[in-house]
Structure 1
Amino acid sequence: MKILWISPWFGNYRIPVYENLNKLTGGNFYIICSEENTSKLVREKLKRTLSNHAIIMSGEKRMTMGSEVSDFANSALVIKKQPGLYKAVKAVGADVIITEGFGGWAPAGIRYAVTHRKKLCMFYERTAYVERHSPTWRSMYRRIMGIPVDHFLINGTLTEEYLNDGLHFKNTPKVKGCMCADSFGLSNAVAKVTDEDKQILRDTLKLKQGLTFLFVGQMVDRKGIKELLAVWNRHTAQYPDDNLLVIGKGILEQPLKEEYSTDKSIHILGGISYDELYKYYALCDVFIMPTLEDNWCLVIPEAMACGKPVACSIYNGGHYELVQDGVDGYRFDPLNPDSIVETLGKFHQSDLQSMGQKAVEIENNFTPDKAAQRIFDACQKVFKK
């Protein structure tokens, strides 16, 4: 069975999944991606992992209607065309095609599967909340494009509910748990960080002796970083020795650096190379994600794999499976300032070590090898059928 995954964009976290899929297929796994939409680091790792089975295309053409300033879902319509894509798909001659959702490069894969009577799986992440502003025409388009799908590969329960109730694919088989973080790589790197290493980093950053909270994500409105920073002073009024590390790039980076430049408990560090992030995961006591909209925020399972308690927004689709209040962390409403402040304070009354251990146990159900196995089993099932 030969599997082809068409995915124009992905991050480092997908490489271990692809590596495991390649092993499970006996070297019969292929990926088609975009040079413009992936980082050099990702492409290098992908080539080392899959060699010539990684097909990297360039020259994508885009047409955008709507606002590109906001990155909230459905704020713009982006139509993508990749010259030579269908020809590349056909050249692989796969038995099973995996597309990313209904749009982007997916139509080429769907067209090939239908035309050549191949099996079609669709990797899908959206939830009803993320798609709350989806126009009727877009939902109708998805219902039509999803008709030939043999199996949906999804992240969790909230995506399943959206596919069943929002798009009416209740009768199409689905497998949950297909989304994961690079838990092996990060957790192994964190385990090698010594107390001396942590102290050197603490001294470099001039951190206080209280708890250190870590945010990693895009510095954009959607991630809720403004809401978190706006109430941080209320938290430090009660816990003055706590620290907040903020890592990420985006249009809000410079304005927020200027706005909070005098607050010595807030450290806005900007972008950090993915291969260096483990140091900050090792250093922090609690990971926090105040996102206002996300399908399955990957930094949450990343932090959990590193043994960190998590504070997670209720607007993150992954909270349903990943976060249990008082067990491995707490859920909160970032649009409610009191909810943020109360949640931050709860960690001072919690057993952080026990929470971190529970986080590892829960995240262990969503590791790259298990995600790959679920995806492979679904592909094998539709192929045999």
Structure 2
Amino acid sequence: MKDGVYGSKDMELDRVTYLLPTYTRYRVAVLDEIYKRIGDGFTVITLRERSLIPEQVALYMGSFPRRIVRGRPLVFDKEFKAGKGNSARVLLTPEMPFILNSLRPRLVISEAFSTWTITAALLNYPLVIYWEGTHYTERNIKPWKSFIRHLITKQTKAFLVNGYLSKKYLMEKFGVQEECIFEGGLCSEPPPSQVITSVNRGRNAQSFAEPVKFIFCGQLVQRKGPEHLLQAVALLNKRENLPRDFSILILGDGSDRDALKHRAEELGIANKVAFRGFIQPDCVWPYYAESDVFVLPTLHDNWPLVVPEAMSMKLPVLLSRYAGNSYDLVREGENGFIFEPTDHARLADLMALYIEDVSLIEKHGKRSAEIVSRYNPASAADVYLKAIDFAASRIEFKP
């Protein structure tokens, strides 16, 4: 409701600020939806990062109010790229606290336990924290970081999470009460209607052309597990009597691209694997439409959005157990399977299922679309508003 006031009962929240250092286009529709509900008292503070092209594109999309601050992040991501932990970001933005204070928010929403979250906590603003981590992604967290998180948790009125595993982490690690955690605040960008139409017309058991097309979409770095996909493909390629051929489409770029191409040649599967390089987010949909099964053997991911993207395009999903959304989005044997990425034989077996019985592609793909349908901008905004409403009930407002 865009009347400038949102709250619980007689509690009014007429000013809500979202500290969102970076975001890509998939967040825009949700932010616009929140703005429609709250009104002009809703403002996003964000950072201009010149090195991140997708973030630069999204910076001026949408109708929600925003304040863009100057500064730069210091990123420490060696362990993150190797799939052994999360990256650390220190935001050097000296003007942010002054902009925040000028907005005089009644409530601050902030991303994770970041520098900006710590700043808002030190300024004594009531907090709602958006959190994506799981026990697995946070397994190597330093004790001092854990201590700071414990302190901030005590000041936080509510948490937003994108899935069950993040919720479980907050409850078990920091003792956050279940009633304070609101699940489902994330969704991928909806696919264009014309692409959906082409998928609806073309995908059925009779129309599947050989070969069966598997698609991987992600950075070509160790963390995303593309090497494990190649190893599984090599095993699959040695199988005799497969009823039809198959191919692998790899979308993405990264520091390991040349090494992976060389590895494909060593394994004798270069003729099976096509590397397409980086694809702009708004151009990825036709590649999903031309594919049959989505595969992600990631070693470390919070809630990878390529999964709901693929599901919205009616693709079955083969998803690593280390993807934070595996619990939320995969129903074993209904829309795909969860696997251990280092178990190459198991992944090859799962890929073979779809080659041997192509009717599973249509059946599992339809189920994927059903499961992911509830993850949309309107429902994500509903979750934000429930968290805001709950936080309002826990704030002692001052005139």
Q: TM-score range by the shorter chain?
A: 0.7 to 0.9
Within 5 Å, give how 1:268-287 maps onto structure 2.
268-287=275-294
Letter in 2 for 1:373: D
Distance 1:154 1:195, change over 3 A: closer
Partner of 2:23: 10
Aligned length: 369
Q: 1:259 aligns to what? A: 263
Q: What is the CA-CA distance between 1:102 and the residue it aligns to?
A: 0.8
Q: For structure 1, list consecutive stretches of 5 or more residues without a partner in the other structure.
A: 199-207
1:212, distance to aligned residue in structure 2 (A): 0.5
Would the aligned equivalents of 1:150 and 1:172 in 2 still touch at CA under 8 Å? Answer: no
Measured in 2, the distance between the counterparts of 1:27 and 1:76 equals 34
SS in 2 for 1:110: helix
Query: For residues 98 and 189 of structure 1, what CA distance do their matches in structure 2 show?
Result: 35
- Residue 44 of structure 1 deviates from its aligned partner by 4.2
Q: Whole-Å Cα distance in 2 between the matches of residues 136 and 120 of structure 1?
A: 23
Distance 2:75 2:238 in 1: 49
Q: 1:187 to 1:320 in 2, by over 3 A?
A: farther
Which AA in structure 2 matches 1:258?
H
* Match in the other structure for 2:5: none
1:342 — aligned with what? 349
Opposite residue 140 of structure 2, the aligned amino acid is H
- Aligned residue for 1:294, secondary structure, equals coil
Partner Cα distance (2:319, 2:52) in 1: 27
Aligned to 2:374: 365
Partners of 1:288 and 1:310 within 8 A in 2 = yes
Q: Which runs of 5+ in 2 are unaligned?
A: 1-13, 204-208, 395-399
Q: Is the 8 A contact 2:159 2:180 kept in 1?
A: yes
Asked if 2 retains the 8 angstrom alpha-carbon contact of 1:187 and 1:306, the reply is no
Residue 233 of structure 1 aligns to which amino acid in structure 2?
A
The DSSP-based 3-state class of the residue aligned with 1:352 is: helix
1:5-49 residue CA offsets vs partner (Å, 9 max, x unmatched): 111122221111111111111343221122117744544444241
8 Å CA contact 2:292, 2:361 repeated in 1 = yes
Give the Cα separation in 2 of the matches to 1:63 and 1:233. 36
Partner of 2:38: 25
Distance 2:328 2:322 in 1: 13
Are the counterparts in 2 of residues 98 and 109 from structure 1 also a CA contact under 8 Å?
Answer: no
For residues 80 and 161 of structure 2, what CA distance do their matches in structure 1 show?
28
Cα distance between partner residues in 1 of 2:188 and 2:200: 25
Q: 1:22 to 1:46 in 2, by over 3 A?
A: farther
Q: Percent identity?
A: 26
Q: Do structure 1's residue 98 and structure 2's residue 99 form an aligned pair?
A: no
1:320 maps to 2:324: no
Tell me the secondary structure at the aligned position of residue 18 of structure 2: strand
RMSD: 2.6
Counterpart mapping for 1:191-270 below 5 A: 191-193=196-198, 209-238=210-239, 239=242, 241-260=245-264, 263-270=270-277
Give me the TM-score of the superposition, normalised by structure 2.
0.85
Q: CA deviation at 1:170?
A: 3.3
1:384–1:46 CA distance, 2 compared to 1 (3 A)? farther
| 1:134 matches 2:138 | no
Instruction: Please say if 1:55 is aligned against 2:62.
Output: no
Q: CA deviation at 1:63?
A: 7.1
> TM-score, normalization: structure 1?
0.88
2:108 paired with 1:107: no
Deviation at 1:192, TM superposition (A): 4.7
Shift of 1:242: 0.6
Contact 2:24 2:54 in 1 (8 A): no
Q: 2: CA distance between counterparts of 1:354 and 1:381?
A: 40
User: What is the deviation of 1:108?
Assistant: 2.1
* SS class of match (1:49): coil
Structure 1 stretches of 4+ moved >6 Å: 194-198
